[in-house]
Every structure is written in C-alpha cells, then in structure tokens.
Amino acid sequence: MSAGQKSWIVRILAGGLAGAGLAGAGYRPLFIGGFSAPPLCGALIQSCGILGAVAVTLALFFAFGAAVGVATLPFEGEGRSVLLRSGLHFLVTAGLLGAILRVCLGVAWRYLPGWLALLGAIYLVVWLGRWVGWYAEVRQLRSALGLEAGPSPLRWRESLPYLPVLLLVNAVLPAVLALLDAPDVPVLRALLIPCLLLPLGGFFPALSLGKRQGVCLLYPTASLLIFLPASLWVYGGQRIPLFWGIALACPLAGNLVGAAWRRRKERRRP
Amino acid sequence: MTITAPVLTDEIRDLAARLEGGGGLTGWRGETAVPLREEAILRCFAQDKGVKAQTAEGVYDLRERLYELEAKLDRHTFVRISHSEIVNLRKVTALDLSLTGTIKMTLAEGVVCYVSRRYVKKIKEALEL
C-alpha cells in the first residue's frame, strides 16, 4: 500500500468515525425528540423504522465525515486535475450534505440552495487560501531569481484602470437612464439597461482586460458588487436576480474569452 | 589543478567532478558531437524515450539520463522542475501562476515550461530558500 493510499484510508476512517460520532452525540434530538419537539428524523423513522433510520443516518454522517476528512487531498497537485478532483469532491460533499439535511434533518427543499451556497463559499475560501500560499511561494521564487515582482494577487492592481468603466456602465449610466425614463413605460430601465448596456458594457471592457492581463476574476465580482446597490436605486428597491446575473456573467464571459485569446496568441508566438 | 578548502564537503566533490568533466555536456546531432557549455543550456528534457538539451542555437540529443544530468550539472543552477525536465535557473525570465496553481516558467528565447508543484521544494533548495 502506497503512502498516498494509506493517507486516504486513515482520513476516511478518522473523518467517517468523527461524523458517525457526531450523529451518535445527537441521538436524542435526531431520533427521540424532547419536550414538545418531534425527532428531527421523524419522516425517516416513519418510512423505515427506528433501526433503519439510525442506520441510514449513521451511514450518511459517516460518509459526510469521510468526505470532509479527505477534503484537502483533492487540492494537491496542480492544473486541470485539481479543478476536476476538487469539483468532483464538491459534488459528492454537496450531495451528502443535501441528503443529511433533507433525509435526516427534514430541512425543506427551498432552504437547500442556501446551505449548498454556504458550502460553495467555504470551498471558495479554501481555494483562495491555497492560492494565496502558492502566490507567496512564487513571489519568493521570483525575488530569489531576481525577476520582477509579477502581477498583483488576483490581478487587482491590473484591474483598477477598468474600474471607472464599471462605475460608468453599472452605476452612473443606469442612474441617468432611470432619471430620463418615462414613469409609465420604463423602456430604458426594462429594456435598454438589461439587454444592451449591461451585456455590451460588461462584455467588451472585460474582453480588453482579459486580452491584456489574462483572467481577472475580481473584475466580474466588482461588476456585480457595483451594480447591486445601483440596481436597488434604479428599480425602486426591487430585487431582480436576472439582472444581477447579467452584471456578473457578461464581464466574466468577456474576461474569459479575452484571456483565452491571449493564451492562444502566446502559444502561437515562435 | 588543486582545490584548497578547510573541509572536503559534498559541494567540493561536486565542484571537482564538474571541473574534471569540463563544465559542459556533449550534445549530438546524428553522429556529430557538439560541446555544450553549461551556461548556454536552457533546459534538458525527456522526449521520445531520449533526453535532449535546448540552447539558443537549437535542440541536441544527450546520451545521459536525466538523473545523471542532475548529478553532473551545478545543482544551484540546474534544477529539476518536473518528472521530465531540468532547467537552467539563470535563464528564467518570468514565472506566472495560474488560478489552478500551475506555474508557468519562461526561459530566455521565449521557451515555456511548466513547474510541477512537487518540485517547487527542489527549486527552493537550489536557491537556498
């Protein structure tokens, strides 16, 4: 057995037992309930009996604990394999968490996306933590090799010159259009902003940024963060997730296309 | 030639071995042998079951294996960056990190190679970090 396989098994067992232990510690609220509160696994107990419910719950908690136990392993290595492995791990963990919440704890379907979004945010933080470590390492190597410092973390400094464009497209122009719009037929707000201004104004500056600097994920994030408060003012406090999606997706698409164009050009260079 | 040092360390042995070897490699193009100076070598890499050395002038076949080259070349200048590649650190012109952790290393003449994360420790050791 290789050291890698041994590490997987030890982590699966440790994580799994911790998960099962957690379910065991919560035996009373899960399977018995207390005072006037029914057991959290009430629906499960009804469908497969107390022993079946205990078995299913322990199995799910064990599997979830095991998935958490091996959580750092998919991030080892680099490149596409990290992306694939961590994506697969996220899907498995999200599936198990969803099953625990729905089957064992009886959480309503409508709350599951929120929980999974929280799990996704944790993944993002872990990823960012790993990346900051890699960045510090590369920065150290650059310094030791006498090279230039290289791009700023997540290219925030390189994205700054494009910030005025974002402010103009996502905040100033929508505000001006809202002031000019007819109160009875809001064509500018209902059509011009979501169908023309946000898609084109989001895509093309991001395309230019991608061509010059490569992938800059802070740019689409900033686009969304600027548009969110502006949209609440422009649309009189209405929350329109579709428009928020456009404000995020169009700059993201533009930046990725620009970065792909840049990469292709670099590869063709003799 | 005499080397004088207070203690006979591994580094002194390396130095002596390299001085005996002339501080270079022999590259081959067919049956023609070409002396390659260490400072002219950009990288050595495995390809098509053979080992090659790349300089600004072109690519040459080598008769050594990569592990032999690791022992033969100056370990502070030449370092293994992946399973199949050794680079001359003095020829590195840029290092770029992708979001997925891939490190792209650009050498002189625009030669691009990729550093495996497993070998980052070796680079740090070579640079005494």
Per-residue pLDDT of A190-221, as tens digits, reads 899 999 999 999 999 999 999 998 899 999 99
Residue B22 has pLDDT above 60, yes or no: no
Q: Does A137 touch chain B (CB under 8 A)?
A: yes
- State residue A17's pLDDT score: 94
> What gap in Å lies between CA A85 and CA A81, rounded to an integer?
6
**What is residue A157's three-state secondary structure?**
helix
> What gap in Å lies between CA A226 and CA A230, rounded to an integer?
7
> What gap in Å lies between CA B92 and CA A145, rounded to an integer?
8
Looking at residue A168, the DSSP 8-state letter turns out to be: I
> What gap in Å lies between CA A216 and CA A184, rounded to an integer?
40
* Total residues belonging to chain A: 270
Contact B88, B43 (CB under 8 A): yes
Q: CATH topology for B10-126?
A: OB fold (Dihydrolipoamide Acetyltransferase, E2P) (2.40.50)
Residue entry with tokens 């790349």:
B54
**What is residue A181's three-state secondary structure?**
coil
Contact B102, B110 (CB under 8 A): no
Q: Which ipTM was obtained for this model?
A: 0.80
Q: Read off the pTM.
A: 0.69
Q: Does A145 touch chain B (CB under 8 A)?
A: yes
What residues of B are in contact with residue A131 (Cβ under 8 Å)?
A: 97, 99, 101
Q: Does A135 touch chain B (CB under 8 A)?
A: yes
In 10 A of CB A23, how many CB atoms? Answer: 22
- State residue B54's pLDDT score: 94
Residue entry with tokens 């990569």:
B66
Helical (H) or strand (E) element with B43: strand B41-47
**Which chain B residue has its CA at the smallest distance from A269's CA?**
B110
Give residue A270's pLDDT band: very low, low, confident or very high (50, 70, 90): low
**Which chain B residue has its CA at the smallest distance from A141's CA?**
B124
Number of Cβ pairs < 8 A linking chain A and chain B: 63
